[in-house]
Amino acid sequence: MRFWIVYYFILEALRIGAKPWHFSQANVAFFDDEKGLFSKFQIEKLIPEKWRLESEVFRPGQVPGEFPVFLKPEWGQNSRGVFRADSDVDFTKIAGSIPGDKITYLVQRAAKGRKQLDVFYIRSTADPRTYGTISITECLSDGNEQCPICGIYKGTWYSDVTEKFSKGDLERIWENLETIGPFRIARVETKCDSYRDLVEGRFKIVEINIFLPMPMNVLDEEIPAKVRRAFVRKSMRLLAEQVKSISETRKPKNIFWRKVAAHFRLAGEIKKT
């Protein structure tokens, strides 16, 4: 599906006269120029307190007062470099192995909801007050862990549960998430106990991915590939429209190579652990 995401984005961008290489501009307003990355810590500050998980910047020698907790790099994707500590012994061992002197790590309290539901959306260009597309994917893991680390390289599989929500439900979910920030595209990872809790606003946000996040519903292999490709094409058409609208209203900001550098810096340090 990654191939189709890239293919359809380039195709749709060229079709409407957008410049494909400006794709990094989708959420450029939230790029931290000083750090040269999209800082998870800064983005978390946008989350209302009722949905925010307690987190702090990791400092050597600290030990959390309660467990489990997650240690994760300030920037990263696909759960790369994320660790879970279930005790002070775990935490001390992990803290001694992470490249905390070279990469800023965050310590985040775990959300104990039974379900992880990822909400992917692209804002409408015609009417920015609403979404152009939205999908909800349940992330499922092997075993009976209450707080698993979910990711495409973490033994996770995905189930598109969008159809379990009515149009009214999706509108209510959007109304909640849209208040966090004017992201043009985002994948919001939530933890809650039920689908109804997500609709009613009883959830915690684990993370918000805004640098061209992948819609995880396209990894649901129970859905025919043709249907998934259709969703990808529609989504990439919307993204191309967003990219074109940005290019027409502001001078593009050169962040792509800085983001790539941050990615390889993280990958290189994690490989050493």
- 103 and 187 belong to one structural domain: no
pLDDT confidence of residue 270: 60
Phi-psi category of 91—alpha, beta or left, where left has phi over 0 and alpha has psi -120 to 50? alpha
- DSSP 8-state code for residue 245: H
- DSSP 8-state code for residue 273: -
pLDDT confidence of residue 250: 74
pLDDT confidence of residue 80: 76
pTM, whole model, 2 decimals?
0.90
Residue 92: which CATH number? 3.30.1490.20
* Winning range, highest mean pLDDT, from 2-16, 24-38, 80-94, 242-256: 2-16
User: CA-CA distance, 165 to 218, in Å (whole number)?
Assistant: 18
Among the ranges given (79-93, 156-170, 183-197), the one the predictor scored with the smallest mean pLDDT: 79-93
In a domain, residue 1? The reply is: yes
- DSSP 8-state code for residue 164: G
pLDDT confidence of residue 53: 93
pLDDT confidence of residue 97: 85
Domain that holds residue 71: 54-110
pLDDT of 269 > 70? The answer is no
pLDDT in tens, 177-232: 999 999 999 999 999 999 999 999 999 999 999 988 999 999 999 999 999 999 99
- 119 and 133 belong to one structural domain: yes
Cα–Cα distance list, 250 to 26, 37, 85, 126 (Å): 12, 20, 44, 18
In a domain, residue 273? The reply is: no
What token pair was written down for 230?
């259709």
**One-character DSSP codes across 193-223:** SSHHHHHHT--EEEEEE-SS---GGGG-TTS
- 71 and 165 belong to one structural domain: no
User: CA-CA distance, 55 to 57, in Å (whole number)?
Assistant: 7
**Number of independent structural domains in the chain:** 2
In a domain, residue 267? The reply is: no
Residue 181: which CATH number? 3.30.470.20
pLDDT of 60 > 90? The answer is no
In a domain, residue 45? The reply is: no
- 96 and 193 belong to one structural domain: no
- 155 and 30 belong to one structural domain: yes
- SS3 label, residue 241: helix
pLDDT in tens, 117-126: 999 999 999 9
Residue 94 vs residue 151, higher pLDDT:
94
Q: How far is CA 151 from the centre of its chain?
A: 11
What's the average model confidence in pLDDT over 164-169? 98
- 33 and 116 belong to one structural domain: yes
- 84 and 161 belong to one structural domain: no
